[in-house]
Amino acid sequence: MTPAIYAVWVICLATGWCLMEALAPSSGSSPRWIGALRQLALGALVGPGLASLGFFAMILAGITASAKFWTMLLVLLVASAALLLRLRGRRLRERPFPRPLPVRFPGRWAIAFAAAAGLGLFVWHFWVTLQSEPTGGWDARGFWNLRAAYLARGDGLWQLALRQNAGGLPTDPFHPSYPLFLSGFVALQWVLSPGLDPVVPAATALVFCLACFLLLFTSLAETKSIVLGLLGGSVLMDFRILPKAAADQLSDIPLALALLASVVLLDQAACVHVRPAETQSDSRLRYRWIAAGLVLGLAPWIKNEGWPFVLATGAAVYWRFGRGAIRWLAAGAVPGLLGTLTVKLLGDGVEFFIPRTIGDVLAKTFDPHRWWQILVGFGSRVIQAGHPWAHPVLLLAGLAVVLRLAPPPDRRARVWLCAPVLTLMISYFGAYLVTQFDLAWHIETSANRFILQVWPSLLWLSFSMLRAPEDAFTEAVSKPEIPCEVTKHGPAKVDLLGADGQISKIATDIVN
Amino acid sequence: MPATVAAKSLTKENSAKAAQHSNGINSLCREGRRRTTTASFFIVIHHTSGKFHGPVIDKVLEGILGPIMEALGSPRQWAVILVCWGVAALALLAIGFRRASGDGAAADPFGTKEEQVRFAPVLKHFPPQSTLGIITDLRRNFDDTPLMEIRFVLAPRQAFVVEPNRAKPEWAIGVFRDPVDPIAAGAALGYEVIETFETGLVLYHHHPQ
């Protein structure tokens, strides 16, 4: 790693942080360091995303000089910082969401220690796996990093990454229709540093993976509780294929991060949208939808699987929040969608798995054996996702039983976020159903990665539907079933059912 | 009126209601889990054994059992604490166990490192912007994995398999799995052998007609 690569990362993280802090500041109901870390995790997606889009646009324009790429990065940083300064000055002081009283969970330090130790072990596992395959997995060598190397050639021959022919000669590409988020960002770092250092894509993969943990932890800590955030991060690290997938330098982890970030920001925008008018301003709400759209638009720029997620999210937002919300969401998604559509228009790619005839599609769709094979394939991958004695699903179920579900209003407010994730899973199912490849081989080589893409989002949705562990110690404040009020004199005034009123009196006296 | 005295006067009916609503009492106190836990406890104590002791025993019980109850909290609270600790510990153990069992650490399964070493003497002659053909017998049974490794090692140079009906770059590298006559293999595609490397690679040159 050269100083230039560190500089690229610092600029990109700062750009993403400023942009997210400007458009989607944290709610103010959690400690400041949690909000800052959340913005950093979001910035780890947004900064590289915008940098890769800018890099691709410049390559298309025939620009290959390193100095101009540095200029592009600095312009992005300055523009983001200027936006932050402008919006921060005008921003209303946001009223925190109603939350239970801050009660320290007994032994919180032990859970924090376990999560930190787990993170250390995870990074060690990643490092050891990387030593065996320093150039990444099959997919990384076959197209992600290969196309990055082509984009970093220095002669602007971008056709090598996207077309069957470049310079009048064949290219024999793999998956030329795949978008260029990861390849573009790795290529940008390679262009700005000497040689094609294999550490660059490895470090990039690790940063995206760590950002995924960080975003899950901080967003749950912000909306629920720190302990629940720590537990969410631990359960995510428990996912068996994650270190191998990170060391393989695949695009599935950035996509998982983009889906998770979309869900988090959509939830935040929706929360502000439904709050009383006197606590919000139109401009602030608009920026939150733009932030969600910006992250959402990066999903198809990372992988084609982002398309169904984007379309389903657009439909869900329109259905639930109307035209105003979808307009700003779409405005935010413009950069990512524009870059992706450009790749589709310029590239020669037609995915090989798509059948050629309608008859073939229908025959495969109505074959019950294929349905069963896909269900068994997905099921077995989910079972293999963890050790039987510490399977992530079992850990989640244990927590759900003990912590209990969140109050119905909380759950109802978030249930619509399940629609895009479920649509994405259904689209996976449909792709397997009609694939031209051997179905067993296709499931064997890709089902794990599909589960990996949606797993952080599913975890976030599941954890957000639970009560916080601290609630077991503060239910006194929020339990609505027993009508009560706390008088200004201190003692609780109780409306108990005792016919003679004695119980109420006793209770009041005892509390006194 | 002291709580202990008042509690003694409870009938069975309304003391049942007291038990039913002791949780309600818990939920009332903004600052005081401890005090309400003690309160609930003493309501039950008075209900079950109020006939047998007087204020002195009350004081003793309050002194001994009160702090214990306060320290223990409710069973649900303990269940929450234990399950949260358990989930964190199990996740940590699973991550550690996964590493100790060598999960996912197969050493260079596609031989990329070997290919990088093998191609290094050839590649030093060609700048990154060059174009190279590949003359090979590796493409078979729809398995492009060996070719993919070679293209990755050659990157960022443009590289493609030379075939009779395709364009022919000036330079090509011969990579063969089976025993093949490299001169004949090149000649069939219009190439002549320039150099044969110890690593088994062959460097070809093509003269455009």
User: What is the ipTM for the molecules in this complex?
Assistant: 0.84
Closest approach of chain A CAs to the CA of B84, in angstroms? 7
Q: Which of B34, B158, B170 is the best residue to mutate to test the A interface, defined by the most A CB atoms within 10 Å of its own CB? A: B158
- Kindly determine whether residue B112 and residue A133, on different chains, have CB atoms separated by under 8 Å: yes
Residue given tokens 């925190």 in the structure block: A96
pLDDT for A488 equals 35
> Is the backbone peptide bond immediately before B156 cis, with ω within 30 degrees of 0?
yes
Nearest residue to B29 (alpha-carbon basis) of B78, B79, B70: B70
Closest approach of chain A CAs to the CA of B80, in angstroms? 6
Residue B173, beta-bridge partner list: B134, B203
Helix (H) or strand (E) holding A389: none
B131-136: strand order across its sheet: B158-161, B131-136, B171-175, B202-206, B191-196
The residue that leads in pLDDT, A501 or B159, is: B159
Q: Is A158 on the interface with B (CB under 8 A)?
A: no
Res B4 pLDDT > 90? no
Q: Is A135 on the interface with B (CB under 8 A)?
A: yes
pLDDT for A156 equals 74
Distance (Å, whole) CA A462 – CA A458: 6
- Kindly determine whether residue A234 and residue B166, on different chains, have CB atoms separated by under 8 Å: no
Distance (Å, whole) CA A120 – CA A126: 10
- Residue partners of B169: CB distance under 8 A and separation at least 6: A169, B131, B132, B133, B162, B206
Q: Which of B81, B83, B87, B165 is the best residue to mutate to test the A interface, defined by the most A CB atoms within 10 Å of its own CB? A: B87
pLDDT for B25 equals 41
Query: pTM for this one?
Result: 0.83
Could you report the per-residue pLDDT of B40-49, keeping only the tens digit for each?
544 454 555 4
Distance (Å, whole) CA A17 – CA A40: 5
Per-residue pLDDT of chain A (512 residues; tens, 9 = 90+): 789 999 999 999 999 999 999 999 887 667 888 999 999 999 999 999 999 999 999 999 989 889 999 999 999 999 999 999 988 765 544 544 445 446 678 888 899 999 999 999 999 989 988 888 888 888 888 889 999 999 988 787 788 888 777 777 777 777 778 899 999 999 999 999 888 888 999 999 999 999 999 999 999 999 888 999 999 999 999 998 898 889 999 999 999 999 999 999 999 998 877 765 555 566 678 899 999 999 999 999 999 999 999 999 999 999 999 888 999 999 999 999 999 999 989 887 666 677 778 888 888 888 899 999 999 999 999 998 888 899 999 999 999 999 989 888 888 889 999 999 999 999 999 999 988 888 898 898 889 999 999 999 999 999 999 998 888 887 544 444 333 333 333 333 334 444 444 444 444 444 43
CB count in 10 Å sphere of residue B94: 25
Stretch B109-136: mean pLDDT, rounded? 84
CB count in 10 Å sphere of residue A7: 15
pLDDT for A349 equals 65
A400-A402-A405 Cα angle (round to 5): 45
B14 and A499 Cβ atoms separated by less than 8 Å: yes
Q: Which of A104, A141, A162 is the best residue to mutate to test the B interface, defined by the most B CB atoms within 10 Å of its own CB? A: A141
- Contact list, A502 vs chain B (CB under 8 Å): 6, 9-10, 14
- Contact list, A492 vs chain B (CB under 8 Å): 25, 28-30
- Kindly determine whether residue A125 and residue B99, on different chains, have CB atoms separated by under 8 Å: yes
Nearest residue to A288 (alpha-carbon basis) of A310, A266, A309: A266
The two counts, helices (H) then strands (E), for chain A are 22, 4
pLDDT for A221 equals 92
Residue given tokens 């090149």 in the structure block: B186
What is the phi/psi pair of residue A4, to 5°? -60, -40
Q: Which of B22, B97, B98, B153 is the best residue to mutate to test the A interface, defined by the most A CB atoms within 10 Å of its own CB? A: B98
- Kindly determine whether residue B105 and residue A152, on different chains, have CB atoms separated by under 8 Å: no
pLDDT for A324 equals 85
Q: Is A171 on the interface with B (CB under 8 A)?
A: yes
B18 and B43 Cβ atoms separated by less than 8 Å: yes
Nearest residue to A118 (alpha-carbon basis) of A18, A10, A216, A204: A216
A316 and A416 Cβ atoms separated by less than 8 Å: yes
pLDDT for B101 equals 57
Q: Compute, in degrees rounded to 10, the torsion defined by CA atoms B171, B177, B179, B184.
A: -30
Percent helix, strand, coil in chain A (nearest 5)? 70, 0, 25
Greatest CA separation found in chain A?
97
- Kindly determine whether residue A511 and residue B35, on different chains, have CB atoms separated by under 8 Å: yes
- Kindly determine whether residue B91 and residue A149, on different chains, have CB atoms separated by under 8 Å: no
Res B89 pLDDT > 90? yes
Res B18 pLDDT > 80? no
Stretch B103-113: mean pLDDT, rounded? 67
pLDDT for A316 equals 95
Closest approach of chain B CAs to the CA of A209, in angstroms? 15
pLDDT for A506 equals 42
Show which of residues 61-100 on chain A sit within 8 Å of chain B, judged by CB atoms: none
B190 and B166 Cβ atoms separated by less than 8 Å: no
Return the SS3 of A184. helix
Q: Is A117 on the interface with B (CB under 8 A)?
A: yes
A160 and B158 Cβ atoms separated by less than 8 Å: yes
Distance (Å, whole) CA A236 – CA A242: 9
- Contact list, A500 vs chain B (CB under 8 Å): 14
